[in-house]
């Protein structure tokens, strides 16, 4: 597939927004978006891990798992594509651990900013979802990287937008049964309607 890079990045941020259109990463979206500072921290951690995870899983898939691959092609010509799910989740889980240890040792400033969000990210379906989408869309390495960065930026954008709304909602007089999750869902519905305005922009449909 030869989608232009600009279309990939705009499509990932606005048209096919990961949270509002694809419904991935809803747990951090509703869990961490209560304050602006935590929303920004979480989004930066996602940007970091999503890009790394896409590189590694792309490499694992195209160099090890596909039939006739560089590393295993000689021994197993039929490939190991059926191990995609299990290998991706294990690779991502170990990657997050590794990033955490690396940051703790060498970049303590970044660790103190992102550290608490990293364990949450392992079970974040957005990371694994993007890894699968890159494979399913048959993206090359560069396209995959751009797609991952765009997706993470789209995640950050709605997290920050939504954190601002949530901060206002805390002060609003809301009837008892709507407090907390229900009103957050309804606010998300409204933001999602706004994002529908981007459909077909840049010639991209969802």
Residue 25 binds to other proteins (criterion: CB under 8 A): yes
Residue 5 binds to other proteins (criterion: CB under 8 A): no
Per CB under 8 A, the list member of 11, 28, 144, 154 interacting with other proteins is 28
Per CB under 8 A, the list member of 6, 70, 98, 193 interacting with other proteins is 193
Identify which of residues 70 and 186 has a Cβ nearer to other proteins in the complex: 186
Residue 107 binds to other proteins (criterion: CB under 8 A): no
Residue 24 binds to other proteins (criterion: CB under 8 A): yes
| Per-residue H/E/C for the chain | CCCCHHHHHHHHHHHCCCCCCCCCCHHHHHHCCCCHHHHHHHHHHHHHHHHHHHHHHHHHHHHHHCCCCCCCCCCCCCCCHHHHHHHHHHHHHHHHHHHHHHHHHHCHHHHHHHHHHHHHHHCCHHHHHHHHHHHHCCCCHHHHHHHHHHHHHHHHHHHHHHHHHHHHHCCCCCCHHHCCHHHHHHHHHHHHHHHHCCCCHHHCCC
Identify which of residues 21 and 204 has a Cβ nearer to other proteins in the complex: 21
Q: What is the binding site for other proteins (CB under 8 A)?
A: 20-28, 30-32, 34, 38, 82-86, 89-90, 93, 116-117, 119-120, 123-125, 128-129, 132-133, 136, 176-186, 188-190, 192-193, 196
């Amino acid at each position: 597939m030869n989608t232009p890079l600009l279309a990939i990045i705009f499509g990932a941020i606005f048209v096919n927004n990961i949270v509002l259109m694809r419904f991935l990463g809803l747990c951090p979206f509703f869990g961490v978006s209560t304050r602006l500072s935590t929303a920004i921290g979480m989004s930066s951690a996602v940007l970091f891990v999503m890009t790394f995870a896409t590189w590694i899983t792309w490499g694992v898939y195209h160099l090890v798992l596909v039939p006739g691959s560089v590393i295993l092609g000689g021994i197993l010509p039929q490939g190991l594509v059926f191990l995609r799910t299990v290998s991706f989740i294990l690779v991502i889980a170990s990657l997050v651990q590794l990033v955490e240890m690396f940051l703790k040792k060498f970049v303590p400033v970044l660790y103190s900013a992102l550290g608490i969000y990293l364990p949450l990210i392992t079970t974040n379906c957005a990371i694994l979802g993007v890894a699968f989408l890159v494979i399913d869309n048959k993206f090359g390495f560069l396209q995959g990287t751009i797609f991952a960065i765009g997706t993470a930026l789209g995640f950050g954008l709605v997290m920050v937008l939504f954190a601002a709304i949530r901060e206002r909602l805390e002060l609003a007089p809301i009837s008892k049964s709507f407090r907390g999750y229900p009103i957050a869902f309804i606010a998300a519905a409204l933001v999602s309607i706004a994002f529908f305005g981007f459909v077909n922009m840049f010639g991209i449909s969802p």
